[in-house]
A and B are shown apart, each in its own frame.
Chain A
Amino acid sequence: MIDQAPAIVLLAPFLTAVLVVLVGMKYERACFPLVLLGLSFSVAAAVQTILQVVEAGTLRYYMGGWPPPFGIEFRIDGLNALVALTVSTVALISAVYSKNRVPEENGDKISIYYTLLLLVVTGLLGMVLTGDAFNLYVLLEVSALTSYALIAMGTRRATVAAFKYAIIGTIGASFYLLGVGYLYIKTGSLNMFDIHEVLVAEDLHRSTTVLVAFILITVGVWIKMAFFPLHAWLPNSYTFAPTTTSCLLGPLVTKVMVYVMIRMMLTVFDPVYTFVQLNWGDIVVWMAVIAILVGSLSALAQTDLRRMLAFLIVAEVGYMVGGVWLANTAGLVGAIYHLIADVFMTLCVFLFAGIVFAKTGKREITATHGLFAKMPLTMAGLAVGALSLIGIPPTAGFFSKWYLIQGGMASGHWGYVVALLISSLAMAVLFFRIFEYALFGVKPAEGHGDHHAGDQGKFSEASASILLPLMGTASLVLLIGIFNQSIVSIITDFLVQFNLADPMFR
């Protein structure tokens, strides 16, 4: 059983999805417990997997016992073990949050909603775990198609947003598939590690075909991760989707694509090729700078809470792409650590937006009016997420910024360093605006002594099923920050094999 842990991570949500659709036809109330059960299994298996990886190093798991390069191989190292655990944990937290929200927002399609939710999780986990480039495409489409449906179940405008996402997303996926096709022509293999070996052994890194493959894959992945200026699909999709959908997809989809980018750049194409031979680092980091600035500043212009958060995701993607392309250890550690930290920070603020929507029925930022008095615990949860996004110690976001800035300074990218700092300030403005509404109300009283105004409202905290996920996520954000050393040591262990300290990487 324990040897099968990597497969269980993926199969638990998948099999539960089948079960939910069958059971849900008759007993709709059984869906939620089943989903929880399935995802708990997945989390447990992911924990088991990461423990094994930390103890024994890279795990190789052959699906169905077929050896590579013919069968599908899961090769699990520190990087994807960490990301898989993150994905399954977020899925579980969003599932808890969904308990009352799905019946309320999508009451007529509970079993369908949960089936799709589990499938999207399966797809995301599969992309993280698989060692096969084509298999990754299949799982990419599994998660993408289900996420279009999950988004379209939102408000009326969500339908249009989902359609736009479907078109752009499909283009991105096609780019990726095309790139994999080129690689297959040149190397005759689809297994990532096999491709890498052939590329190195036959000195294919000079080939134009491989260059085209790299460009296609990179652009495809950038489209899917909403890297500016390829981000147009993202804001509306996460704004108008059902709140559970935004809590699940908002943090995860872009981050998993960042993972795919890192995997492709390091494992498939080799860092010497991507960083030294191509030498595009400067251009891409400047693109990331623009993404960070545009994302942060556009967020300032929003009046809809979730739309504001959606633009923050665009900025955060810039953080990570920039960090990776800095091409030094600190930058990569920062990017990967930020990937994990940011998932939970984003989840934290999206859960907050969900709670505000659940309690007030409003989507505007001004709906947070007077919440410090009404819902102090919820506000405390938001405060942790917000401080982490701003980058205040000892939350997780501070440490990711620490490593990223360290990477930026080490390779002399001062533009990137400044962009990170400006973005921190923009986030401070964004979130202190919310704190001000929550503390003072939208229109504060004039003069001293008016603070007993009736609109402060009575204490009325959110119900446990939506509050506990927020509290849990907030504590995770703190824990990931305080125990950042243990995560960072897994990441550095993973990065050692690429020998990034070599002076050729600057």
Chain B
Amino acid sequence: MTPPAIISITPVLASLVSLLAVIPIILLGRRSNLREGTSFVAGIVKFGLIASMLPTIMAGSTIEYTLWEIIPNLAIAFRVDALGMIFGLVASSLWIITTLYSIGYMRGLKEHAQTRFFSYFAVSLAATVGVAFAANLFTLFLFYEMLSLATYPLVTHHQDKEARSGGRTYLTYLLTASILFVLPSLIYIFIKTGGGLDFVAGGFLEGRIGGTEALVLLLLLTFGFAKAGIMPLHSWLPAAMVAPTPVSALLHAVAVVKVGVFCILRVYSGVFGIEFLSDLNLGVIVTWIAAFTVVVSSLIALTQDNLKRRLAFSTIGQLSYIVLGMALLTPKGVTGSMMHIAMHAWGKITLFFCAGAIFQATGKKYISEMVGIGKRMPVTMAAFFIGSLSVIGIPLAGGFWSKIYLLWGTVEDGQYAMLAVLLISSLLNAAYFFPIAFRAFFCKPEDSLFEAKVEEAHPCAVVALSLTAVVTMFLFIYPEPFFALADAAAQHLMNL
């Protein structure tokens, strides 16, 4: 039997702290060191608050807090469980490192409007943690929309023509999908259930809706959370790459996109319930949709010469791994899916940090211009290699574990087609990542486009990317915290 839930305001504070940090960030706008200091303090406090809840969650309990009943029978409420904890930990810890990286990147490039940048970054993090700790579908939606809007000024940071069109694509996809698909589903579920919408392990829709309704709602909600980048609603992610790299790194490899898959995981596990989905045999449909995205996005990634775009398509594929793992509806698949949220985050953010560092130090964006860059930026390229190991899922990096679990999940239920898809995708991942690192280090001296003189990016950026690379490797040796949480979450959700 699980211990009773604890009532505590900590999850609210964890979300709110970065929102409140916006005020000092704006007030200290002209004094950039103090301003970034505020971001650090807020990040550390946020991480501390979330980490302080870890022991309770590990003990199998949950932390709840109801803020406000905003519509009859529908409250803005927070609830921390193992799944939310994984995401909250990843997002808040990476925010601290990204702040460090941002300082290097933004100052190195002498970007304009840095106060605006750091303010909206803080707002985005408040929304992300809000999603992680949302207790019901309504609260989840609230923070989901907040995140879409708060990231718009970050995506369009450069305020030029390219940024405008990128921003347009970004908002069009995200807002259209959420207003057209998620909002009506939400209200429909609300009518059908008469309120609540609280996530329950095992779901609350069983017996309240029929098979066809379930299928329609499932598709609406899967595609409606377009942040998950499931094809064909993925084009916003490459478009969002016009943003400064710290934004692409934290938001479009971790926070925003993971919010999308997180919402989908929540809906599958907490609204429909895994048993209900597997009774209706709906998981299969989703696995095929996700499998399509996995393979096609990897193929597209092969053709991209712009490094950030290649990473973006890689992210689209990896996000669908997470959805696919969940949709397998097997214990190991679900565990792997949740672990992948964390493992992919650390690996991919390292890759983005490297891409940004290269741009900041050399102004290069295209892979074809990076031949021999390993001689010039050895630390960065080494980190890049580690990051790609993790994303491909090869030992010595954390991504290996989540991939093993995903593969195990397919075998568990005899879904060998999915096993094949995951293996093919891994090969494709290797095919689009290894040549970059290989040509950076091992090219003929006459082909090299760089002088053999070490000249790295801004020190803050280098420290940040080394840190994430080290953690990525560390997670191979010690995946315990995320593994334990994912395992506990899966046990709980599947009523094992």
Contacts and interface: CB of A to CB of B under 8 A. Distances in A.
Interface of A: 387, 390-394, 399, 401-402, 405-406, 409-410, 417, 421, 424-425, 428, 432, 436, 439-440, 444-452, 482, 484-485, 488
12 contacts: A393-B142, A399-B71, A406-B187, A406-B190, A409-B184, A428-B171, A428-B179, A436-B168, A447-B161, A451-B113, A484-B70, A484-B71
A371 B131 CA distance: 32
Interface stretch (B152-160, B290-298, B434-442): B152-160
Interface in B136-180: 141-142, 145, 149, 153, 156, 158-164, 167-168, 171, 175-176, 179-180
B446 interface: no
B70 A392 contact: no
A445 B72 contact: no
A53 B476 CA distance: 67
B161 A393 contact: no
Contact of A405 (B141, B142, B149, B184): B184
A126 B176 CA distance: 42
Contact of A445 (B156, B161, B171): B161
B71 A421 contact: no
Contacts of A447: 160-162
Contacts of A391: 179, 183
Contacts of B191: 406, 409-410
A446 B161 CA distance: 5
- Top 7 A-B residue pairs of the complex, sorted by shortest distance between their CB atoms: A451-B159, A444-B161, A445-B160, A393-B142, A405-B187, A440-B164, A444-B164
A387 B176 CA distance: 14
B69 interface: yes
Nearest to B138: A393
B72 A444 contact: no
A405 B113 CA distance: 40
A393 B68 CA distance: 14
Given A406-B190, A484-B70, A425 B180 contact: yes
Contacts of B478: none
Contacts of A425: 175-176, 179-180
Interface centre among B69, B113, B149, B184 (most CB of A within 10 A): B184
A496 to B, nearest CB: 14
Nearest to A330: B191
Contacts of A488: 71-72
B70 A444 contact: no
B474 interface: no
Given A392-B145, A484-B70, A448 B187 contact: no
A352 to B, nearest CB: 18
A424 B191 CA distance: 21
B112 interface: yes
Given A393-B142, A394-B70, A406-B190, A428 B159 contact: no
A392 B149 contact: yes
B70 A482 contact: yes
Given A410-B191, A436-B164, A445-B159, A387 B70 contact: no
Given A393-B145, A444-B159, A448-B160, A485 B187 contact: no
Nearest to A483: B70
B184 A421 contact: yes
Contacts of A410: 191
Contacts of A444: 159-161, 163-164
Interface in B67-82: 68-72
A487 to B, nearest CB: 12
B416 interface: no
A434 to B, nearest CB: 13
B147 to A, nearest CB: 12
Contacts of A405: 183-184, 187
A20 B241 CA distance: 60
A40 B406 CA distance: 67
Most buried by A among B175, B180, B187: B187
A421 B179 contact: yes
Contact of B159 (A394, A406, A440): A440
Interface string B101-116: 0000000000011000
Contacts of B168: 432, 436
Contact of A409 (B158, B162, B176, B188): B188
A425 B183 CA distance: 12
Contacts of B188: 409
A428 B69 CA distance: 27
Contact of B112 (A424, A428, A452): A452
Contact of A421 (B72, B158, B161, B180): B180
A417 to B, nearest CB: 6
Contacts of A417: 184
A106 to B, nearest CB: 38
Given A425-B175, A428-B179, A485 B70 contact: yes
Contact of A432 (B141, B159, B171, B180): B171
A33 B243 CA distance: 50
Interface string B83-118: 000000000000000000000000000001100000
Given A424-B179, A451-B112, 5 more contacts: A393-B142, A394-B142, A399-B70, A451-B160, A482-B68
A484 B74 CA distance: 12
A478 to B, nearest CB: 12
A394 B145 CA distance: 10
A70 to B, nearest CB: 42
Nearest to A422: B180
A408 B168 CA distance: 30
A367 to B, nearest CB: 18
Nearest to A446: B161
Contact of A440 (B163, B176, B190): B163
A390 B149 CA distance: 12
A437 to B, nearest CB: 10
A399 B70 CA distance: 9
B117 to A, nearest CB: 12
A406 B171 CA distance: 25
Nearest to B363: A448
B196 to A, nearest CB: 15
Contact of A393 (B141, B156, B159, B184): B141
A32 B171 CA distance: 44
B187 A446 contact: no
A341 to B, nearest CB: 14
Contacts of A406: 187, 190-191
